[in-house]
């Protein structure tokens, strides 16, 4: 079979993807069952060997060609992203641009990060030449969410491919067309070989990918609840997992903060993409002394936003999410929170207008659970210690933002989370050299950066004996004199 004769993954049932703004059907996709998923993975195993065999330099060249193809096909991809998520075209463009930049970084840095390097053998093993190399897993199963259907899975796909793996992507059932369009652009640079394949369907398709023989690792991005299910499934076969889950990211506003910048960041971080951003701002802790002025600025900005086609942000991509937002708003208000922008009436599915609520009790759902909608909680705190305490109180720990002129990095160092933006918001996600990921219920493992490349490779250590020691210690021929001599060396080296 030649590379271009790869048969499509067989499937009988189909499902439709919809435009969440209108409910219009925008695509029909196969529901791939376990047999189809296993067939895709089996093909990927062969393709992975070919891709790995190309070596770093040739992969870098081909990934650069993919980057160029993505730039040229921006309009087509942006159209599919906007159609399936409902987000404004410029938001889709931003998502794609960031993904392209990450692809470029991963391709250019893979050899430096993963290539073979010498390691000092140490005094006791001075007769050895030690080296370390990073080998690909083979096939990586990538399970992605719908909120950033290109940027999020590309954080795994680009880095996994650069590390020499083949990838089987299972996009969210809400954004299958984006996954297919992405893989189509890649097919050209590998002459149609199944190095990046897409399987579509519902949760069962994702579960089948976790179980499929030949999958070396699963990179999952999605909710914490599904992440736990994915881990449980992967435990059956001891398949390693990378788990990128939700967040409840705080933004801290210090007394000396640039309040205009902080308010702009809070509103953009909380409302852009209709609040459907894993590392979006959901809670603000503002110091008492500047709370009134800051809140007034937030209110003015949020009141200027409009949800809807042609608005600053689009619909709730997943229809059920609107009810989660409504529940959080109602709960916050019932417990004494005060709405300063919008309220429960702002939830008009599929759209949700901006909601800002102040003085929300810390045990309400709007503070403890991921809302994933355009709801911003703004709570005043007496001092920084209290801001940090509350920021760290939740079960999530994905990202955070800090606005402070004098103490930004100091505060960042006290936060329990994977990433912090100082005087900015979500800035870390756009810097390809920085690892992205969380702690606690936000998951573990990292995409992006050097850690993100290593996430898709396993270290292999090699120790080559250069010459025999005159006094062997790892042999039955060793004598007690040999061990005495060794202990003498250790006393001199480590005993003082
Ligand atoms: P879900 O957890 O609902 O789904 C994520 C993916 O898992 C989907 O492709 C889904 O398929 C699939 N899936 C569902 N059930 C299973 C299963 N049993 N086994 C394997 N795969 C399964 O998340 P959403 O799509 O709703 O995404 C939103 C969530 O993602 C939010 O919590 C958000 O915070 C988080 N997120 C985290 C990011 C991070 O990097 N930390 C980045 C972006 C989002 P299907 O859709 O067909 O059900």
Both 23 and 97 in a single domain? yes
Both 178 and 300 in a single domain? no
- CATH number of the domain at 367, please: 3.40.309.10
Residue 86 lies in a domain: yes
Both 151 and 61 in a single domain? yes
Residue 414 lies in a domain: yes
What is the 144 CA–ligand 1 centroid distance (Å)?
A: 6
Residue 443 lies in a domain: no
Among residues 210, 234, 245, 278, the one annotated as catalytic is 278
Both 192 and 314 in a single domain? no
Model confidence pLDDT, tens digit, residues 284-330: 999 999 999 999 999 999 999 999 989 999 999 999 999 999 999 99
Both 339 and 485 in a single domain? no
Both 178 and 37 in a single domain? yes
Model confidence pLDDT, tens digit, residues 224-268: 999 999 999 999 999 999 999 999 999 999 999 999 999 999 999
Both 57 and 84 in a single domain? yes
What is the 206 CA–ligand 1 centroid distance (Å)?
A: 10
Considering its fold, how many domains does the chain have in total? Answer: 3
Mean pLDDT, rounded, for 21-25:
96
Residue 230 lies in a domain: yes
Both 255 and 227 in a single domain? no
Q: Is 95 a catalytic residue?
A: no
Both 33 and 172 in a single domain? yes
Determine the pLDDT at residue 7: 56
CA distance 219 to 204: 16
CA distance 48 to 331: 50
* Higher pLDDT among residues 10 and 352, named by residue: 352
Average pLDDT, the chain: 96
Residue 58 lies in a domain: yes
Residue 438 lies in a domain: no
Mean pLDDT, rounded, for 183-201:
97
Is residue 2 over pLDDT 50?
no
Both 228 and 329 in a single domain? no
CA distance 12 to 25: 19
Both 268 and 292 in a single domain? yes
Both 312 and 376 in a single domain? yes
Name which of 190, 183, 226 is nearest 205 in CA terms.
226
Q: Which domain holds residue 488?
A: 466-495
Residue 442 lies in a domain: no
Determine the pLDDT at residue 257: 98
Ligand 1 pocket (Cβ < 6 Å) reads 143-148, 152, 170, 172-173, 202-203, 206-207, 210, 221-223, 226, 229-230, 233, 244-247, 278, 318, 370, 372, 398
The answer to whether 1 and 192 have CB atoms below 8 angstroms apart is: no
Model confidence pLDDT, tens digit, residues 220-234: 999 999 999 999 999
What is the 170 CA–ligand 1 centroid distance (Å)?
A: 10
pTM higher than 0.85 for the full model?
Answer: yes
Residue whose CA lies nearest to ligand 1 atom number 39? 244
Residue 349 lies in a domain: yes
Instruction: With cut-offs at 50, 70 and 90, classify the pLDDT of residue 5.
Output: very low
């Amino acid at each position: 079979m030649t590379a271009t004769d790869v048969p499509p993954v067989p499937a009988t049932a189909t499902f439709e993807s919809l435009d969440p703004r209108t409910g219009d059907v925008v695509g029909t996709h196969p529901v791939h069952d376990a047999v189809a998923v296993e067939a895709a993975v089996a093909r990927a195993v062969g393709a992975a060997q070919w891709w790995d065999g190309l070596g770093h330099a040739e992969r870098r060249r081909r990934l650069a060609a993919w980057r160029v193809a993505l730039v040229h096909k921006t309009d087509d991809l942006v159209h599919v992203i906007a159609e399936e998520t409902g987000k404004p075209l410029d938001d889709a463009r931003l998502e794609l641009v960031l993904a392209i930049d990450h692809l470029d970084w991963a391709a250019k840095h893979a050899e430096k990060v993963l290539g073979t390097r010498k390691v000092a053998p140490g005094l006791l093993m001075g007769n050895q030449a030690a080296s370390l190399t990073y080998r690909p897993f083979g096939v990586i199963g990538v399970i992605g969410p719908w909120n950033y259907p290109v940027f999020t899975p590309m954080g795994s796909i680009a880095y996994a491919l650069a590390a020499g793996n083949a990838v089987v992507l299972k996009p969210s059932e809400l954004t299958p067309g984006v996954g297919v369009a992405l893989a189509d652009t890649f097919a050209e640079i590998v002459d149609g070989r199944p190095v990046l394949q897409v399987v579509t369907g519902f949760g069962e398709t994702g579960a089948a990918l976790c179980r499929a023989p030949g999958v070396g690792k699963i990179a999952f991005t999605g909710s914490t609840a599904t992440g736990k299910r994915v881990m449980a499934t992967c435990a059956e076969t001891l398949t390693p997992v990378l788990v990128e889950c939700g967040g409840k990211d705080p933004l801290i506003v210090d007394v000396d903060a640039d309040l205009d910048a902080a308010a702009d960041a809070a509103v953009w971080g909380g409302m852009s993409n209709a609040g459907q951003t894993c590392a979006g701002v959901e809670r603000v802790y503002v110091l008492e002394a500047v709370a009134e002025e800051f809140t007034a600025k937030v209110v003015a900005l949020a009141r200027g936003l409009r949800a809807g086609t042609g608005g600053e942000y689009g619909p709730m991509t997943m229809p059920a999410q609107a009810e989660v937002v409504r529940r959080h708003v109602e709960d916050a208000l019932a417990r004494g929170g005060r709405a300063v922008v919008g309220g429960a009436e702002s939830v008009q599915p599929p759209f949700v207008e901006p909601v800002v609520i102040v003085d929300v009790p810390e045990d309400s759902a709007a503070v403890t659970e991921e809302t994933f909608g355009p709801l911003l909680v703004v709570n005043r705190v007496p001092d920084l210690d209290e801001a940090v305490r509350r920021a760290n109180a939740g079960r999530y720990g994905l990202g955070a933002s800090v606005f402070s002129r004098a103490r930004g990095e100091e505060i960042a160092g006290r936060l329990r989370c994977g990433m912090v933006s100082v005087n900015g918001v979500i800035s870390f996600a756009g810097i390809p050299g920085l690892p992205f990921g969380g702690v606690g219920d936000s998951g573990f493992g990292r995409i992006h950066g050097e850690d993100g490349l290593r996430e898709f490779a396993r270290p292999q250590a090699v120790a080559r004996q250069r010459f025999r020691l005159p006094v062997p210690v790892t042999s039955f021929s060793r004598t007690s004199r040999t061990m005495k001599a060794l202990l003498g060396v250790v006393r001199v080296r480590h005993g003082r």
